[in-house]
Amino acid sequence: MPIYEYRCMDCRKKFDLLRPMSQSSDPAECPVCKGQAKRIASTFMAKGSGGESMGGGGGCSSCSSSSCGSCH
Ligand SMILES: [Zn+2]
C-alpha cells in the first residue's frame, strides 16, 4: 500500500497515512485535532523523480562514462 501525505486544514499538522490507492484522494482525519485533512504532494514521489539528478553522476552498469548519454 502506498503512503500518502496529508495536511490538516484546522491545525496545519502534516502526517503520513498508509491507505489504498482508491482512497488516496479521500479526506483523512487529523490525528491531533480530529479535523479534516487533505492530501498534499507526496514526498515519496518527489524523492523518486529527484533521485537521479541528486546522485551526482555515475551512469548505469553498462556505461563507462559518467552519464548514460552514450549507452542507449
Ligand atoms: Zn488537526
Residue 21: DSSP 8-state = G
Band the pLDDT of 65: cuts 50, 70, 90. low
pLDDT band at 42 (very low <50, low <70, confident <90, very high): low
Domain holding 26, by residue range, is 3-70
The structural domain count of the chain equals 1
Query: In Å, how far from its chain's centre is CA 39?
Result: 11
**Where does the pLDDT of residue 9 fall: very low under 50, low under 70, confident under 90, or very high at 90 and above?**
very high
Residues 38 and 30: beta-carbon distance below 8 Å: no
Are 55 and 48 a contacting pair, CB within 8 Å? no
Listed in sequence order, the DSSP H helices in 1-72 are 43-54
Neighbours of ion ligand 1 (CB under 5 A): 8, 10-11, 13, 30, 32-33, 35
In whole angstroms, give the CA distance from residue 6 to residue 37.
Answer: 6
- 46 C-alpha to ligand 1 centroid (Å): 24
**Average pLDDT over every residue of 27-37:** 96
Q: How far is the CA of 26 from the centre of ligand 1 (A)?
A: 16
Mean pLDDT of 26-32: 94
